[in-house]
């Protein structure tokens, strides 16, 4: 589907005009949105709009890394949003010139639809231009990252609170799932941050300079997101290390107690082994009090070793 918006020299908004009309007539600026286009509509990028073949190829074969390419009469941007429900990347491409902006996306994006609805209610359309539209949609894309980052942060907080009550398998499964989401978000935010940085520091984009303070605001948001992601990655590492350390301590405590009991029973087993050899000449076997004496000695040794280890604090 292709939809269009144009602003004429009188500041009037024109909707859904043919692309041929937009190119031929003198509009202040126009916006063409390629929303999930088919193969026939893709040909218009080449045949009518005459965009660079490499940029068209990047549009059609999507899931590219965010980037910026300069061409003779237009600039090509690849940006990415992230679906908060599925944590999948969704690409939004821009062709931007002094008097036009063309958007291209393979999935229906709320950021684009919000821009479209805004123009249906916007009165001062003369104040807009192609780079202001670019800023609005990139800003909407970046704003979509924050709920995802906050959700991950809340998840880590709950994991930390319940770390003493959950099994190791459950906790590590939740922890690694949150860490995986962080990595996916980082792979989107970092390239977007680099893209906006290039936009702000490019002398080939005078339209960006006219709205520099707005794009700086986007860059600040991306820096904040990067800091949140790095901080949460450190939190996941701290929770993991703390839990593994706690479990190691518990294991060592159990092993220490088992070692104490093994040590106590070693001399008792030795004594029992001696009197279990059934030699013919073992006088104490025939002594009236032999059994009770051996039991008393074994009990004394066991109790003595227990008291010794108790004083040493091995049962704590």
* 77: nearest Cα among 192, 210, 184: 192
**Full-model pTM:** 0.77
Which has the higher per-residue pLDDT, 261 or 162? 261
Locate 254 and state its tokens. 């159990």
Lowest-confidence pick of 1-5, 17-21, 104-108, 296-300: 296-300
- Among 87, 104, 75, CA closest to 195: 75
Print the SS3 string covering 194-227: HHHHHHHCCCCCHHHHHCHHHHHHHHHHHHHHHH
How many Cβ atoms sit within 10 Å of the Cβ of residue 229? Answer: 21
- Of the candidate ranges 22-36, 72-86, 173-187, 283-297, the one whose mean pLDDT is the lowest: 283-297
Map out the domains of the chain with their CATH numbers. 1-125 (3.30.460.20), 251-311 (1.20.58)
- Report the pLDDT value the prediction gives residue 104, as an integer from 0 to 100: 96
SS3 state at 4: strand
User: What proportion of the chain, given as a percentage, has pLDDT over 70?
Assistant: 96
Residue 164 pLDDT level (bands cut at 50, 70, 90): low
- Per-residue pLDDT at 316: 67
Q: Which position has the token pair 């076997």?
A: 285
The least confident of 90-99, 134-143, 298-307 is: 298-307
Contacts 24+ apart (CB under 8 A), 40-46: 41/1, 41/2, 44/2, 44/19, 45/102, 45/104
| Helices assigned H by DSSP within 96-144 | 110-121, 130-143
């Amino acid at each position: 589907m292709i939809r269009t918006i144009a602003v004429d020299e009188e500041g009037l908004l024109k909707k859904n005009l043919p692309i041929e009309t937009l190119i031929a007539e003198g509009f202040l600026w126009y916006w063409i949105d390629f929303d999930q286009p088919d193969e026939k509509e893709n040909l218009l990028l080449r045949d009518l709009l005459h965009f660079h073949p490499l940029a068209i190829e990047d549009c059609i074969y999507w899931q590219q890394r965010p980037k910026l390419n300069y061409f003779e009469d237009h600039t090509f941007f690849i940006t990415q949003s992230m679906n908060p429900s599925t944590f999948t990347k969704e690409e939004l491409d821009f062709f931007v010139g002094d008097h036009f902006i063309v958007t291209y996306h393979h999935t229906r994006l709320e950021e684009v639809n919000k821009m479209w609805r805004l123009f249906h209610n916007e009165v001062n359309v003369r104040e807009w231009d192609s780079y202001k539209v670019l800023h609005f949609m990139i800003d909407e894309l970046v704003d979509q990252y924050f709920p995802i980052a906050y959700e991950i942060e809340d998840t880590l907080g709950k994991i930390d609170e319940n770390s003493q009550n959950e099994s190791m398998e459950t906790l590590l499964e939740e922890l690694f799932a949150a860490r995986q989401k962080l990595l996916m978000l980082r792979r989107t935010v970092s390239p977007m941050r680099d893209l906006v940085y290039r936009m702000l520091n490019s002398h080939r984009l005078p339209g960006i300079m006219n709205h520099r303070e707005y794009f700086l605001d986007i860059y600040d948001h991306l820096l904040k997101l990067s800091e949140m992601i790095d901080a949460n990655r450190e939190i996941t590492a701290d929770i993991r290390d703390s839990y593994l350390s706690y479990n190691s301590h518990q294991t060592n405590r159990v092993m220490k107690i088992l070692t104490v009991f093994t040590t106590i029973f070693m001399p008792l087993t030795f004594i029992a082994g001696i009197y279990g050899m059934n030699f013919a000449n073992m006088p104490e076997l025939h002594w009236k009090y032999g059994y009770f004496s051996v039991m008393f000695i074994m009990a004394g040794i066991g109790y003595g070793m227990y008291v010794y280890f108790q004083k040493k604090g091995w049962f704590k």
